Structure 1
Amino acid sequence: MNFKLSRDKAKNRLLICGAYGEGNLGDEAILDCLLDEIYQKTQIPVTVLTREPKKLAKRLCRYAGRDFRAVHSLDPLGIIKELSQSRALILGGGSLLQDVSSKRSLAYYILVLKSAKSAGLSCLLYAAGIGPLSDEKTEKRAMKAVYETAVFAAARDKTSYEKLKKSGMNPDSLVLMTDPAIAVEANINYKNNIDSPYAVIALRKLKGRAKFADEIALFTDFLAEEYNLIPVFAALGPGDEKAAAEIIKKLKTKSGRIISCADAIKTAALIKNSEICISMRLHGLVLAASALAPAVGIAYDPKVSAFCEDMGYPYINTEEITAAALILAARNEIEFGSREKRENKLNELRLINKTATAEMFLKLERIYST
């Protein structure tokens, strides 16, 4: 597919809005996957709203010849200009319509949807996670905004799909997919300078859970003592290095190290070469899946448990974390986990995404060819 654009060049751009430029590896990986699809399949010039426009433009300099632009997500005049030149908005991916991390971010994304609709843009949701939302009133407000603006939505998990379906969206404009970063291929040439077998552990900050840190430390020491694995803490987002440092202070083993991860392909290679990945971060698990690595999820959010269920990975909710539970799950994965089953699941999820993405591009073709 490489469809032709209409002759109205003054309004032929595509605007993408998500949690970009906020230091989260997973969000940037989603953006990379989406842009690769767009530039492979269309001639549409793209603008991305981001907190770090200069940094993003530099990182994506390979698209400079394709009329790629990056605009600050809090620049109202810049956004108004892009809306006036765009024909469609893609909101996504990820859990943007939630208010656990910030109520202001939910208000922002709803405003972007409504502003795009008012400016005459067709609005599409891509790899959309809905929730968690704090109360029924807030959920109704978010779902009403989607219903009134979106002409297409690809939900990232079954719960989000059901919420979008319940909102009243046309079922023909609604599809199910999984996280786009499942398409990332590990860079087999990447050298991580770790000479001994190791486990990747990807944690995030969890407030008020001192016992949680103690249990993680006990489990990490078990991996070092029982399997002789170096604990490698992968920092995938803001605050992750601090969370890892708190655990390292509690360890008996002195071999723990922290690696700051800014590149999805290299991070997938880091996980691919490990014995196992233990992750609170969704994209630690997504990249483990893409690398066919054994993994255990620590579910602080429904999106983590949902992906683990899709991929067949064991997971433990943060409220139920004990070193013993982690040891049992990790031992089963290391000693009895089936690479063949993981590969079958991965192929299944990639096919689902390929189908969902094709549906989105058919919608874009209709939007941009008229």
Structure 2
Amino acid sequence: MKRILLAGYYGFGNLGDEAILEMALEQILQITDRKSITILSGNKEATARKYDIDTIDRYNVMSILRKLKSSDAIVFGGGSLLQDITSKRSIYYYLFLIRLAKLMNNKIIMLSQGIGPIINEKSKNAVASTLKLVDYITVRDKHSKDYLEALGVNQDKIFLSTDPVINLKAGESINKTPHGPKRVCFSLRNWKNADVSTKIVQVAQKLISDGIECCFIPFYYNEDLLLIEEVEKSLGDKAVYYKERLTTTDALDIIKNMDVMVGVRLHSLIFAAAANVPFVAVSYDHKVDHFANSVNMKVSCKIDNIDSIQLYSEIVNKIENENEEKLMLKQSVSKLRELTNVNYKILKEI
């Protein structure tokens, strides 16, 4: 059995990254058994309990080194690992892992990566030189592929895939629970100086006055809960707030019973697409734009320029044309799911 070290932004309570981990495990278990997998985690005890798999503290360099000595490959399961807009340290952490794995003669596989933004020139040069060591890299959008090729990465190593979370259960098998009023779910995040809560409250108030139920869900618990509480101060008991730590299953169960998802968080949109729930995207990063485009949609607005009237209108339009929206989304998602097959093919090369 192949011995795999699985790396990513795991163990931090971000539902998107935990869903990536679950889907990466599903793919890796096609080529090896559970006992041959080790996960790098920010909370190794919680990750080990949840998945019944060996874990290592992602910051314990000596443990990582020992594990790489006995591993066949390191697999980066997906996400926006190579970017420096949220943290300059993060990008160098993953580049360090790649170089360490190469030193230990491991194969290096990067799956479903979203590349960039990379602002710092030194970071760009470091990425370009380090990715020459990678055996294969699949990217989740064409922009990432073009970006890597522009950096000089060998195009024969780069393959177009998509975010594996699109396979989080099959939308066709998800049965919506009957309910009375239409429901709109919001997944928000703060971004720099953008006045997100005020604008979204304006939208929610108009929807509520139309008899539409508004719900708020945290995808990155530690950050999003604060924003939900800001919204609650204005809306009070007129809306529904999910304040507990949710699992990916919990979140999908909530979203599948919505009529529209309004998402800032990328993976809230991917969850919605996987559940065949029409969505309205508010973009804070090009990765949101790229995903919306991949399912033949456009973002409604940028996070630092939210037009509450336009956003309200787009939500209502999605509700009024729900059947057509679902059909178009189902067709687009079906094509995306086919792209994930390239990940399986590459894993078999280990």
* TM-score normalized with structure 2 length: 0.91
Cα shift readout 1:151-198 (whole Å, capped 9, x = no counterpart):
100011111111222333333321111111100127958989x87542
Moved more, 33-42 or 214-223: 33-42
Cα shift readout 1:11-35 (whole Å, capped 9, x = no counterpart):
x521111100111011111111111
Kindly indicate whether the alpha-carbon contact (under 8 Å) linking 2:255 and 2:272 is maintained by their aligned counterparts in 1.
Answer: yes
Kindly indicate whether the alpha-carbon contact (under 8 Å) linking 1:218 and 1:251 is maintained by their aligned counterparts in 2.
Answer: no
SS at match of 1:239: helix
SS at match of 1:42: coil
Quick check: 1:14 aligned with 2:4? yes
Quick check: 1:360 aligned with 2:346? yes
Kindly indicate whether the alpha-carbon contact (under 8 Å) linking 2:6 and 2:74 is maintained by their aligned counterparts in 1.
Answer: yes
Structure 1 residue aligned with 2:97: 112
Change in 2 beyond 3 A, CA 1:313/1:224 = farther
Structure 1 residue aligned with 2:117: 132
- 2:147 alignment partner AA: K
Q: Distance in 2 between matches of 1:282 and 1:180?
A: 13
Question: Residue 27 of structure 2 is aligned with which of 25, 37, 40?
Answer: 37
Structure 1 residue aligned with 2:311: 326
SS at match of 1:348: helix
SS at match of 2:191: coil
Kindly indicate whether the alpha-carbon contact (under 8 Å) linking 2:16 and 2:267 is maintained by their aligned counterparts in 1.
Answer: yes
Q: Distance in 1 between matches of 2:293 and 2:231?
A: 27
Q: Distance in 2 between matches of 1:276 and 1:260?
A: 21
Quick check: 1:163 aligned with 2:147? yes
- Where do residues 11-160 of structure 1 align in structure 2 (5 Å cutoff)? 12-43=2-33, 45-61=36-52, 68-147=53-132, 149-160=133-144
Q: Distance in 1 between matches of 2:213 and 2:29?
A: 40
**Which consecutive residues of structure 2, in runs of 5 or more, have no partner in the other structure?**
none
How many residues of Structure 1 are paired with residues of Structure 2 in the alignment? 343
Q: Distance in 2 between matches of 1:146 and 1:118?
A: 14
Cα shift readout 1:87-121 (whole Å, capped 9, x = no counterpart):
11112310011111111111111111111111111
* TM-score normalized with structure 1 length: 0.87
Question: Which structure has greater strand proportion?
Answer: 1
Question: Residue 289 of structure 2 is aligned with which of 305, 308, 317?
Answer: 305
- 1:232 alignment partner AA: C
- 1:181 alignment partner AA: V
How far 1:248 sits from its partner (Å)?
A: 2.2
- 2:258 alignment partner AA: S
Quick check: 1:178 aligned with 2:169? no
Cα shift readout 1:203-250 (whole Å, capped 9, x = no counterpart):
11223223x322111001111112x22221110103101111112222
Question: Residue 246 of structure 2 is aligned with which of 242, 253, 262?
Answer: 262
Question: Residue 224 of structure 2 is aligned with which of 240, 261, 265?
Answer: 240
Identity over aligned pairs, percent: 28
Change in 2 beyond 3 A, CA 1:306/1:260 = farther
Cα shift readout 1:298-325 (whole Å, capped 9, x = no counterpart):
1001111110111123412113211012
SS at match of 2:21: helix
How far 1:253 sits from its partner (Å)?
A: 6.5
Kindly indicate whether the alpha-carbon contact (under 8 Å) linking 1:89 and 1:122 is maintained by their aligned counterparts in 2.
Answer: yes
- 1:251 alignment partner AA: L
How far 1:265 sits from its partner (Å)?
A: 2.6
Kindly indicate whether the alpha-carbon contact (under 8 Å) linking 1:97 and 1:129 is maintained by their aligned counterparts in 2.
Answer: yes
Aligned-pair Cα RMSD in Å: 2.2
Kindly indicate whether the alpha-carbon contact (under 8 Å) linking 1:152 and 1:363 is maintained by their aligned counterparts in 2.
Answer: no
Kindly indicate whether the alpha-carbon contact (under 8 Å) linking 1:190 and 1:269 is maintained by their aligned counterparts in 2.
Answer: no
**Which consecutive residues of structure 1, in runs of 5 or more, have no partner in the other structure?**
6-11, 62-67, 365-370
- 2:38 alignment partner AA: T
How far 1:38 sits from its partner (Å)?
A: 1.6
SS at match of 2:81: strand
Q: Distance in 2 between matches of 1:25 and 1:258?
A: 14
Kindly indicate whether the alpha-carbon contact (under 8 Å) linking 2:205 and 2:235 is maintained by their aligned counterparts in 1.
Answer: yes
